[in-house]
Amino acid sequence: MTEFTTNKKVLQFVEESAAITMPDKIVWIDGSEEQRAALKAEACRTGELIKLNEEKLPDCYLHRTKPNDVARVEDRTFICCKNEADAMPHSIVKWMDPQKAYDLAYGIAKGKMQGKTMYVIPYSMGVVGSPFSKIGIEVTDSIYVVLNMMIMTRVGKMCLDALGEDGYFIKGFHCSCDIDPENRYIMHFPEDNTIISVNSAYGGNVLLGKKCFALRIATNLGKNEGWMAEHMLILGCKRPQDKETKYIAAAFPSACGKTNLAMLIPPEEFRNKGYEITCVGDDIAWIRVGEDGRMWAANPENGFFGVAPGTNESSNFNALAATKKGTIFTNVAHNPADNTVWWEKLTKKAPDFMYDWTGEPWTPAMNADGKHPAANPNSRFTAPAENCPCISPEFNSKEGVPLSAIMFGGRRATTTPLVYQSRDWNHGVFVGSIMSSETTAAATGAVGVLRHDPMAMKPFMGYSVADYFQHWINMGKKAEKAPKIFNVNWFRQDENGNFMWPGFGDNMRVIDWILDRCDDKVEAQETAIGYLPYAKDINISGADIDAATLEKLLVVDKARWSAEADEIEAYYNENFGDKLPKEIRENLATLKANCSK
Ligand code: OXD
Ligand code: MN
């Protein structure tokens, strides 16, 4: 029994978890600073965390995972519902019978917390008391998980109070076990609102509020309750010509610059005119249709679990600033000279001597061939959102923010132009469904391989992808003033493999066109794939790009698109067959017809 709650289902979940894992003791996380300080001290004592330079990085810590446990494991991620057809077709996550899954996972976790403490974390995704908020209870044997959850979510007794005697919650069961990659499982039971994670300690697999709850379980909740859970950043854009801040949600695959876009600093010319970007979220958006017919979005998280390599003063000043206090760094390099951290591209020159992400001595010469970076390519920072200098004043809004536009974008060296607008909502859903992108280090497996990633949700959809497309179509019908849908590609390359678009802050120039389109303030050219800007309407003054290159970025090559359409058709047929919504198939037919004209 505990003084924390009388909710019988919570108590039962905790008791049952303890009966399986047999911890020496159970500690409830109350969200207090005292408890947090004690946990940090204990983790430093055991070596789970290394305390960093208090003057340069106050209240910051370094953590190293096992080398076999540095990314999400998509091929070991399961949706476990009774009827396989409810989860499938799913192009990446697998299905398992729920009873088989419970037996397997609980068998693996049996007795594995002996000699350890089981922590019980009550947390909320979303501002407690808002219509978006959903409560979770995660049990874990890892202090690292507790401390990360305290940054990434809203943790404490208020979550139990919000649940009351009988409210429903998402059960999260995490047991580090032996960090055995052969017995690593990330399992989701949407019918029981349960998540199980065994044999991992890497964030994306164990901070169960994030991908597991806020995306895979939440997509199911959204389908049943009529809202959407998406892998999207949310940004606010203030422009001198607009009366109000406009909001955009944007979906990109992992490690494709969502955090950078969400915290963008506009180019000087724009800043001088009064343009400003504020960040509501960098990874996940929960979206509901408001009474006014607009779509309203909220970020269910409370912190940033960002990719460290590549983050620096110029690529993302705001993210770097957010990591300067109260941050946990995972798998970055340790600079013993001043007890700080380092990762590739943090500074132009690497320090002369460091410990790499595995804790081994490292010098820049060891990485002459680029194969031995000091920081793991998927190393991360977990930083409180409130640290971010450009955090939106609406970050804690209970209603969320109204969306003017939705953007999709992948990493495409060819074919996809800098930006285009869909003809209507259903065409926009089609545009999201055909997203493909080159793979990154955020998941295990080869990097740089082009793969389909519909809505950047391929690894995160909690049910059949075809049903998920249908849900998008239904949501468009429900929202009388649905946002306009766009596709962007910052990653187009020239014949020599150089990026053609400067990206980062200059993406403001594209956002500006997008918002003008939302207000019908600028004409566009109708092409085979949708509406494209006239080059004159993208303001490139002061940018490191010439007019000829911009023209090239706005070309729609019908031959390439025709080949792309054939490939999309084959992908649809192979993966979704008859389950593909007719609206999507119709848009494919239009694309094919347009390309052959
Ligand atoms: C993330 C991811 O950590 O997408 O956000 O992998
Ligand atoms: Mn992500």
Mutation pick for ligand 1 pocket among 207, 211, 328 (CB with most ligand atoms within 8 Å): 211
Q: Could you give the residue range(s) of every CATH 3.40.449.10 domain in the chain?
A: 8-30+73-225
The dihedral formed by the CA atoms of 198, 199, 202 and 207, expressed in degrees to the nearest 10? 20
| 3-class secondary-structure state, position 271 | helix
Mutation pick for ligand 1 pocket among 70, 212, 254 (CB with most ligand atoms within 8 Å): 254
3-state helix, strand, coil in the chain (%, to 5): 35, 25, 45
Q: Which ligand is nearest to the CA of 442?
A: 1
Ligand 1 atom closest to residue 253's alpha carbon, by position in its atom list: 4
Ligand 1 atom closest to residue 442's alpha carbon, by position in its atom list: 6
Ligand 1 atom closest to residue 204's alpha carbon, by position in its atom list: 3
| 3-class secondary-structure state, position 307 | strand
Could you tell me which CATH number the domain at 230-299+395-596 has?
3.90.228.20
Phi, psi of 477 (to 5 degrees): -70, -35
Binding site membership of 254 for ligand 1 (Cβ less than 6 Å): yes
The count of C-alpha atoms lying within 13 angstroms of the C-alpha of 127, restricted to the half-sphere facing its C-beta, is 13
pTM for this model (two decimals): 0.96
Domain 303-386 of CATH type 2.60.40.10: no
Predicted pLDDT at 89: 77
Q: Tens digits of per-residue pLDDT, 259-288?
A: 999 999 999 999 999 999 999 999 999 999
Binding site membership of 305 for ligand 1 (Cβ less than 6 Å): yes
Ligand 1 atom closest to residue 71's alpha carbon, by position in its atom list: 6
Which residues share a beta bridge with 28? 120
Q: Could you give the residue range(s) of every CATH 2.170.8.10 domain in the chain?
A: 303-386
Predicted pLDDT at 45: 98
Binding site membership of 442 for ligand 1 (Cβ less than 6 Å): yes
The count of C-alpha atoms lying within 13 angstroms of the C-alpha of 79, restricted to the half-sphere facing its C-beta, is 32
Mutation pick for ligand 1 pocket among 72, 93, 261, 299 (CB with most ligand atoms within 8 Å): 72
Cα separation, 374 vs 62, in Å, equals 14
Which residues share a beta bridge with 189? 194
Predicted pLDDT at 43: 98
Cα separation, 438 vs 416, in Å, equals 13
Q: Is it true that the peptide bond before 89 is cis, omega within 30 degrees of 0?
A: yes
Ligand 1 atom closest to residue 231's alpha carbon, by position in its atom list: 4
Which residues share a beta bridge with 436? 452
Predicted pLDDT at 91: 65
Structure tokens at 483: 């946002």
Cα separation, 415 vs 162, in Å, equals 49
Task: Output the 3-class SS for 142-211.
Answer: CHHHHHHHHHHCEECHHHHHHHCCCCCCEEEEEECCCCCHHHCEEEEECCCCEEEEECCCCHHHHCCHHH
**Greatest C-alpha distance within the chain:** 72
Given a contact cutoff of 8 angstroms between Cβ atoms, the answer to whether 361 and 352 are in contact is: no
Predicted pLDDT at 194: 98
Q: Can you list the residues of the chain whose pLDDT is less than 50?
A: none
CA of 25 to the centre of ligand 2 (A): 34
Binding site membership of 283 for ligand 1 (Cβ less than 6 Å): yes
Task: DSSP for 328-359, please give it.
Answer: EEES-EEETTTTEEE-TTSSSS--SSEE-TTS
Given a contact cutoff of 8 angstroms between Cβ atoms, the answer to whether 91 and 452 are in contact is: yes
CA of 382 to the centre of ligand 2 (A): 13
CA of 283 to the centre of ligand 2 (A): 5
Binding site membership of 72 for ligand 1 (Cβ less than 6 Å): yes
Task: DSSP for 380-447, please give it.
Answer: EEEEEGGG-TTB-TTTT-SS-EEEEEEEEE---SSSS-SEEE-SSHHHHHHHHHT-EEE--TTBSS-S
Q: Which ligand is nearest to the CA of 72?
A: 1
CA of 411 to the centre of ligand 1 (A): 15
Pick the closest to residue 581 from 476, 458, 459 (CA basis): 476
Structure tokens at 547: 């007019």
Q: Which residue has the tokens 């020599």?
A: 496
Pick the closest to residue 486 from 507, 500, 467 (CA basis): 507
Binding site membership of 357 for ligand 1 (Cβ less than 6 Å): no
CA of 586 to the centre of ligand 2 (A): 30
Given a contact cutoff of 8 angstroms between Cβ atoms, the answer to whether 394 and 298 are in contact is: no
Number of helical H runs and strand E runs in the chain: 17, 31
Protein residue with its CA nearest to atom 4 in ligand 1: 254
CA of 234 to the centre of ligand 2 (A): 13
Cα separation, 210 vs 215, in Å, equals 7
CA of 284 to the centre of ligand 1 (A): 9
Q: Could you give the residue range(s) of every CATH 3.90.228.20 domain in the chain?
A: 230-299+395-596
CA of 108 to the centre of ligand 1 (A): 26
Buried b (16+ CB within 10 A) or exposed e, 120-157: bbbbbbbbbebebbbbbbbbbbbbbbbbbbbbbbbbbb
Protein residue with its CA nearest to atom 3 in ligand 1: 204
| 3-class secondary-structure state, position 86 | helix
Cα separation, 404 vs 237, in Å, equals 10
Mutation pick for ligand 1 pocket among 74, 93, 207, 305 (CB with most ligand atoms within 8 Å): 305
Ligand 1 atom closest to residue 254's alpha carbon, by position in its atom list: 4
Q: Which ligand is nearest to the CA of 71?
A: 1
- From the candidates 60, 256, 388, 595, give the one annotated as an active-site residue: 256
Is 60 marked active-site?
no
Structure tokens at 225: 């309750």
What is the 8-class DSSP label of residue 481? Answer: B
The count of C-alpha atoms lying within 13 angstroms of the C-alpha of 483, restricted to the half-sphere facing its C-beta, is 27
Given a contact cutoff of 8 angstroms between Cβ atoms, the answer to whether 127 and 133 are in contact is: yes
Specify the CATH architecture of the domain 8-30+73-225: 3-Layer(aba) Sandwich (3.40)
Ligand 1 atom closest to residue 460's alpha carbon, by position in its atom list: 4
